[in-house]
């Protein structure tokens, strides 16, 4: 296979300049049981996570529901308060910025959601909705705003006439395009994409993924791509981080991670996806990951995965493995070879 | 659950205290005072002043309030300004009939509202549904006193089927049967008013539940529509109604003041009217306090019921 | 052995504010005892409506306008509501996409399982409880005695879907309709549920009608597949044939648009352009023609029939008649090479 060619095609897009550095970040949710009762404890939704996003790359973030991947995405653009740790964006430590200080940085880090419909005002025309932030933040003058809106619609593959219509007149895929257009109106550097295609039909998913890839090339965007659909992550990501119960357990280049997963969890997670080929049904006697994810309010001791890990040993129950610092990072005492 | 009850009762204390302050203030801000209300021109002004002095009405409001609160802490509610009877005794005599009237009306109201609401929802947009909705609209929009007077005229005076007022027949035995006959008309009036409002709640709640996925599961098991409605939908639909009933209790107590007047029902409502007209502060304060107790207590009962009916809610 | 279920030229309509809309048109397929048949398609293609029609659960606004459904040689379209009720839950049962909302929140789990037993097999309370506990154990629920007394909110999504399966299979039905049974679940839990359905199917010989949009799940479970688009079956074949040589351009597009784990990252998925048409503005001719890369003049005017192209492989496409079908296949091969 001549894979190297297509892989290298993407290399120049990655300038190895850090855009966002996340250092030992934790996000906790208090568990308050009731009025007048003391704090019952807290859920460590994100626990001591470090990750650097380089300009122009896409880091895919995968894991089961409740693993903290969405919380991590929301915390790094300061939609959730960080409990501890540091977030640096374009070199500035934004962890403790006041809402006012945050405004310029916020525009440069935008988010795309799973269901764009919930965030679109049903009584506002798409054109007006896109124009509003442009005018408020003086990104376009009143004279030019129409042209800028048309440009944004064009960027996401919608006709200029779409500006005169209301959200309910669009299909799911088109609404996601509108959501992307809105995020782009701030001319961001970083886009946190939280399950942007999971609610869409299969044939539409590919359209949106392709659009995101085109936009990245064109606008030099950096993505944090959060998804549970592993195929989409594989297609779009340069690197992939796997999360389990608030921790990154493995982080590697996409090809490497899919070819040679080193954390048992990653291996079982990848195995869980049924391949779209009936011929592989029997050949691939799938090892099934048993049980449910333990409650993040009360994570297991030692390695958090030991309760479901087929290879767990005594040490795994006691000692927590740390994420290694090489290019293929893994947090496991006995990584797979 | 024990800890929950204790906590709830502890929370009730400051609420309770707030209610006493507010009602004391409001009463004193109302124009007139108990002595001026004794419109007897034969009493000379000096006597009135002396009377005010004796009743403590010339003290500043806060002193009056502290004195009253002191009495309350000793378990005393004071003496009526107009009849000089102990307030506790006055209330004790009247509370029974009021609670009887209010609880029977609530029961009758729900017995009307729940079946009608269910039928209305199950047969949504049918003629039957429109009829029910129309009736419930009528029930809410007719003022209770008007309905009461109308019923007294037709059923009591013209047809002479039922007594027009009071709780017992004068010179009668005052037994259960006698009271029950006197109860019918006022309960009907209050019950219809309550039902009018509740039918719409039950209908809306039932319509909401009828859309739920688990009813499709129930149908997929092969259950009849009757079982689907009564075994699966009804309980889910009634849970929100419990909360609505909680909100109804204060209105019910307020509404019975008027109905007790219309039917000369010897309850707290009548006592309240008399006390208001004569600015009888101690009696009014006593009634307020009892009413607050009843409301706080029923709210607690409602919350416990709510948590018992819905396994998803825990006591905390 | 005869067919367990036969659906013949089914047409289903719904009454709504904008008049009557046809949501399923000319759908025919059959299921043999013990096999798994999958209906694949995107949202609004009519796959769920078809499965609800088999259950007789279309509701007040939906009705079967044409065609028939026969199950064990009984014509369900002519059956009384009472006959249908007798069949539901005992002979045919159903599990749904949303395990979180498909269980009654105020009824203990055990009772929800027992209900069908008490109704159809007239079991005593005690027998029913014992069977429910055994069934819970069979679907892999730990501590079944305790869980039988628990309420649904205490269980995770995966556990609830296991309970749904227990409810559906308690009377040992001949046919289980599974409408997106794994879609709402995490992928690791999906794998568990697929394995469970396959184990129980092997034990009891239950036939499964799998309704899904996920070609991965289809590849893992199905024996036969029907692909639906805009209310019609556009292609039907056995699972190996369909995945090896899909002949309808829509099926090909669907297969190509799944990002494959064995492909190279950073590549692009060949997407199907355009949108799924709405029921109110169905295109003339072939319903897929506005999105089809091979559409010709005839495709815009005339609606193709579902045609047998050999070996139980049926395709609704004008191009399969001519030699261009082979061209499409060739085209697809080259595209795959490009993708690699």
Residue of chain A with shortest Cα separation from B8 = A35
Residue C130 lies in a domain: yes
Distance CA C236, CA C40 (A): 10
Nearest Cα residue in chain C from B306 = C106
C26 assigned to some structural domain? no
Give me the pLDDT at residue C330, please: 43
Taking CB atoms and an 8 Å cutoff, what residues of chain C touch A255? 264-265
Q: A286-311: buried (b, 16+ CB within 10 Å) or exposed (e) per residue? A: bebbeebbbebeebbebbbbbbbbee
Which residues touch C221 (CB under 8 Å, ≥6 apart)? C36, C38, C194, C197, C198, C208, C210
Task: Please give the Cα distance from C34 to B10 (Å, whole number).
Answer: 63
- Residues C233-254: pLDDT tens digits? 999 999 999 999 999 999 999 9
Residues paired with residue C307 on neighbouring β-strands, in sequence order: C315
Interval C270-311: pLDDT, tens: 888 888 888 888 899 999 999 999 988 888 988 999 988 877
Residues of chain C contacting residue B213, judged by C-beta atoms under 8 Å apart: 96, 98, 101-102
CB within 8 Å: A36 and B316: no
Give the Cα-Cα-Cα angle B222, B228, B232 (nearest 5 degrees). Answer: 125
CB contact under 8 A, B223 and C85: yes
Given this model, what pLDDT does residue C334 score?
A: 41
CB-CB neighbors (< 8 A) of A231 in chain C: 258-261
Contacts of A275 (CB under 8 A, 6+ apart): A284, C216, C219, C261, C262
CA C210 – CA C208 distance, rounded (Å)? 6
Report if residue A80 sits inside a domain: yes
Give the model confidence (pLDDT) of C58-68 as tens digits: 988 899 999 99
Out of C101, C119, C151, the one facing B222 most closely (by C-beta) is C119
pLDDT of residue A284: 54
Q: How high is the pLDDT of residue A35?
A: 43
State which residues form the domain around A79.
3-119+188-330
Nearest residue of chain B to residue A32 (CA atoms) = B316
C interface test, pick of A232, A235, A297 with most C CB neighbours within 10 Å: A235
Domain boundaries, chain B: 2-73, 93-309
Of B156-170, C120-134, C150-164, which gets the smallest average pLDDT?
B156-170
Q: Which residue has the tokens 């990072």?
A: A329
Q: Which residues contact A97 (CB under 8 A, 6 or more apart)?
A: A78, A105
CATH number at A234 reads 3.40.50.300
Of B214, B222, B311, the CB nearest to C102: B214
Answer yes or no: do C188 and A289 touch at CB < 8 A: yes
Residue of B nearest to A36 (CA): B7
Q: What is the pLDDT of residue A306?
A: 94
- Which of C93, C106, C107 lies closest to B220 in CB terms? C93
Separation in Å, CA of A238 to nearest CA in chain C: 7
Its pTM stands at: 0.83
Q: What is the pLDDT of residues C219-235, one digit of tens each?
A: 999 999 999 999 999 99
- Measured between beta carbons, which residues in chain A are less than 8 angstroms from residue C222? 278
Q: Enumerate the residues of chain C whose CB falls inside 8 A of the CB of residue A68.
A: none
| Average model confidence (pLDDT) across chain C | 88
Choose the closest CB to B221 out of C89, C101, C151. C89
Q: Which residue has the tokens 């357990």?
A: A249
Query: What pLDDT is attached to residue C333?
Result: 45
Task: Provide mean pLDDT across the span C180-192.
Answer: 87
Between CA A99 and CA C20 the distance in angstroms is: 53
Q: Does domain B93-309 bear CATH number 3.40.50.720?
A: no
Evaluate whether residue C254 is within a structural domain: yes
Using alpha carbons, select from A317, B219, B269, A76 the residue that is nearest to residue C60.
B219
Q: State the best of C35, C259, C337, C339 to mutate against chain A, taking most chain A CBs within 10 Å.
A: C259
In the prediction, which pLDDT does A4 show?
37
C328 close to C294: Cβ distance less than 8 angstroms: yes
Q: Above pLDDT 70, what percent of chain C?
A: 92
Contacts of B219 in chain C (CB under 8 A): 57, 88
- Provide the pLDDT for residue B38: 60
| Interchain CB distance below 8 Å, A34 and B316 | yes
- Helices (H) and strands (E) counted in chain A, each on its own, are 12, 11
Spans in chain A with pLDDT lower than 70: 1-15, 31-41, 117, 282-286
- C137-156 residue pLDDT tens: 999 888 999 999 999 988 88
Alpha-helical regions (H) of chain B: 2-29, 34-37, 45-55, 61-73, 87-122, 127-141, 144-151, 176-210, 213-220, 225-227, 234-262, 268-277, 281-309
Residues of B within 8 A of C101 (CB-CB) are: 212-214
CB contact under 8 A, C106 and B311: yes
Number of domains in chain A: 1
Nearest Cα of chain A lies from the Cα of B115 at a distance, in angstroms, of 36
* Minimal Cβ distance to C195: which of A205, A228, A288: A288
Residue of B nearest to C151 (CA): B311
- Chain B residues with at least one Cβ partner in A under 8 Å: 7, 11, 316
Q: Which tokens hold the place of B222?
A: 């092969």
Q: Is A268–C188 a contact, with Cβ atoms under 8 angstroms apart?
A: yes
Q: What is the 3-state secondary structure (H, E, C) of chain C?
A: CCCCEEEEEEEEEEEECCEEEEEEEEEEEEECCCCEEEEECCCCCCHHHHHHHHHCCCCCCEEEEEEEEEECCEEHHHCCHHHHHHHECCCEEEECCCCCCCCCCCCCHHHHHHHHHHHHHCCCHHHHHHHHHHHHHHCCCCCHHHHHHCCHHHCCHHHHHHHHHHHHHCCCCCEEEEECCCCCCCHHHHHHHHHHHHHHHHHHCCEEEEEECCHHHHHHHCCEEEEEECCEEEEEEEHHHHHHCCCCHHHHHHHHHCCCCCCCCCCCCCCCCCCCCCHHHCCCCCCCHHHCCCCCHHHHHCCCCCEECCCCCEECCHHHCCCHHHHHHHHHHHHHHHHC
Q: How much is the pLDDT for B174?
A: 67
* Residue C109: pLDDT over 90: yes
A48: left (phi over 0), alpha (psi -120 to 50) or beta: left
- Does C265 fall in a domain? yes
Using an 8 Å CB-CB cutoff, list chain A residues near B14: none
**A32, A35, A40, A41: best mutation site toward chain B, by most B Cβ within 10 Å?**
A35
CA–CA distance, A25 with A327 (Å, rounded to integer) = 20
Which ipTM score applies to this complex? Answer: 0.85
Low-confidence ranges of chain B (pLDDT < 50): none
pLDDT at residue number B302: 87
CA distance A253 to chain C (A): 10
Q: How many domains does chain C have?
A: 2
Which residue range forms the structural domain that includes residue C123? 102-171
According to the model, what pLDDT value does residue B8 have? 82
CA terminus-to-terminus distance, chain B: 8
Two tokens, residue A227? 């998804």
Summarize pLDDT for A179-229 with one digit per residue, the tens.
999 999 999 999 999 999 888 888 888 899 999 999 999 999 999 999 988
Minimal C-alpha gap between C65 and chain B (Å): 22
- Which chains have at least 3 CB atom pairs separated by less than 8 Å from chain B? A, C
């Amino acid at each position: 296979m001549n894979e190297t060619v297509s892989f290298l095609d993407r290399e120049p897009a990655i300038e190895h300049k850090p855009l966002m550095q996340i250092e030992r970040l934790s996000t906790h949710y208090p568990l308050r049981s009731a009025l007048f009762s003391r704090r019952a404890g807290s859920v460590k939704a994100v626990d001591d996570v470090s990750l650097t996003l380089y300009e122009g790359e896409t880091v895919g973030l995968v894991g089961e529901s409740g693993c903290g991947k969405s919380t991590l995405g929301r915390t790094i653009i300061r939609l959730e308060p960080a409990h501890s740790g540091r977030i640096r964006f374009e070199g500035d430590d934004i962890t403790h910025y006041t809402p006012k200080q945050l405004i310029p940085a916020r525009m440069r880090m935008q988010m795309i959601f799973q269901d764009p419909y919930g965030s679109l005002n049903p009584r506002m025309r798409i054109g007006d909705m896109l124009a509003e932030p442009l005018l408020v933040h003086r990104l376009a003058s009143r004279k030019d705003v129409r042209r800028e809106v048309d440009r944004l619609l064009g960027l996401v593959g919608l006709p200029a006439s779409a500006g005169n219509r209301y959200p309910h007149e669009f299909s799911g895929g088109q609404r996601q395009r509108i959501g992307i257009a809105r995020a782009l109106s701030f001319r961001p550097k970083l886009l946190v994409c939280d399950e942007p295609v999971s609610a869409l039909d299969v044939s539409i998913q590919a359209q949106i993924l392709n659009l995101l890839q085109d936009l990245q090339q064109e606008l030099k965007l950096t993505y944090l791509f959060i998804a549970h659909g592993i195929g989409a992550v594989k297609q779009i990501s340069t690197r992939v981080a796997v999360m389990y119960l608030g921790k990154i357990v493995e982080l590697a280049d996409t090809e490497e991670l899919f070819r040679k997963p080193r954390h048992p969890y990653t291996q079982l997670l990848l195995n869980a996806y049924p391949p779209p080929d009936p011929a592989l049904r029997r050949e691939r006697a799938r090892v099934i990951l048993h049980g449910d994810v333990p409650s993040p309010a009360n994570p297991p001791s030692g390695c958090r995965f030991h309760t479901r890990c087929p290879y767990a040993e005594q040490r795994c129950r006691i000692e927590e493995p740390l994420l290694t610092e090489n290019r293929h990072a893994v947090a496991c005492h006995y990584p797979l070879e | 659950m024990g800890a929950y009850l204790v906590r709830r009762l502890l929370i009730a204390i400051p609420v309770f205290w707030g209610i006493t302050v507010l009602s004391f203030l409001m009463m004193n801000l109302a124009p007139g005072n108990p002595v001026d209300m004794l419109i007897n021109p034969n009493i000379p002004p000096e006597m009135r002043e002396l009377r005010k002095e004796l009743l403590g009405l010339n003290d500043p409001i806060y002193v009056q309030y502290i004195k009253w609160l002191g009495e309350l802490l000793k378990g005393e509610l004071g003496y009526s300004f107009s009849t000089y009877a102990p307030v506790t005794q006055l209330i004790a005599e009247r509370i029974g009939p009021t609670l009887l009237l209010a609880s029977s009306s609530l029961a009758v109201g729900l017995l009307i509202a729940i079946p009608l609401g269910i039928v209305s929802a199950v047969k949504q947009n049918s003629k039957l549904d429109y009829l029910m909705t129309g009736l419930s609209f009528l029930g809410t929009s007719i003022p209770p006193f008007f309905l009461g007077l109308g019923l007294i005229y037709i059923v009591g005076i013209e047809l002479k089927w039922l007594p027009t007022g009071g709780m017992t027949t004068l010179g009668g035995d005052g037994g259960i049967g006698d009271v029950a006959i006197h109860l019918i008309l006022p309960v009907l009036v209050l019950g219809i008013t309550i039902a009018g409002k509740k039918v719409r709640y039950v209908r809306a709640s039932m319509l909401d539940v009828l859309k739920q996925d688990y009813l499709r599961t129930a149908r997929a098991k092969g259950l009849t529509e009757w079982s689907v409605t009564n075994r699966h939908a009804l309980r889910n639909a009634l849970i929100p109604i419990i909360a609505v009933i909680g909100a109804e209790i204060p209105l019910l107590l307020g509404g019975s003041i008027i109905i007790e007047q219309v039917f000369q029902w010897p309850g707290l409502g009548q006592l309240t009217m008399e006390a208001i007209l004569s600015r009888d502060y101690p009696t009014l304060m006593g009634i307020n306090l009892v009413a607050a107790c009843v409301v706080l207590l029923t709210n607690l009962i409602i919350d416990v019921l709510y948590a018992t009916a819905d396994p998803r809610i825990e006591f905390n | 052995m005869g067919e367990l279920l036969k659906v013949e030229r089914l047409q289903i309509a719904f009454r709504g504010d904008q008049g009557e809309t046809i949501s399923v048109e000319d759908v025919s397929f059959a299921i043999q005892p013990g096999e798994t048949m999958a209906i694949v398609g995107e949202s609004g293609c009519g796959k769920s409506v078809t499965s609800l029609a088999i259950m007789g659960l279309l509701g007040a606004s939906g009705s079967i306008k044409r065609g028939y459904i026969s199950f064990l040689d009984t014509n369900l379209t002519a059956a009384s509501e009472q006959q249908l009720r007798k069949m539901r839950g005992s002979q045919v049962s159903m599990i749904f996409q949303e395990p979180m909302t498909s269980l009654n929140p105020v009824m203990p789990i055990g009772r929800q399982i027992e209900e069908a037993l008490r109704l159809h097999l007239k079991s005593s309370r005690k027998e029913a409880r014992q069977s429910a506990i055994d069934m819970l154990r069979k679907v892999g629920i730990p501590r079944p005695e305790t869980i039988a007394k628990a309420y649904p909110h205490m269980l995770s999504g995966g556990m609830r879907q296991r309970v749904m399966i227990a409810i559906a299979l308690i009377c040992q039905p001949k046919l289980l309709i599974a409408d997106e049974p794994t879609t709402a679940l995490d992928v690791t839990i999906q794998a568990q549920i697929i394995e469970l359905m396959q184990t129980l199917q092997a034990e009891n010989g239950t036939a499964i009608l799998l309704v899904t949009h996920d070609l991965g799940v289809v590849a893992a479970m199905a024996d036969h597949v029907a692909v639906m688009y805009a209310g019609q079956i556009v292609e039907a074949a056995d699972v190996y044939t369909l995945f090896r040589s899909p002949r309808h351009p829509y099926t090909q597009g669907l297969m190509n648009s799944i990002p494959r784990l064995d492909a190279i990252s950073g590549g692009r998925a060949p997407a199907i352009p355009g949108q799924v048409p709405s029921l109110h503005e169905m295109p003339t001719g072939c319903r897929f023609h506005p999105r089809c890369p091979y559409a010709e003049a005839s495709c815009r005017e005339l609606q193709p029939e579902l045609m047998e192209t050999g070996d139980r492989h049926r395709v609704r496409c004008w191009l399969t008649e001519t030699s261009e079908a082979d061209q499409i296949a060739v085209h697809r091969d080259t595209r795959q090479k490009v993708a690699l």
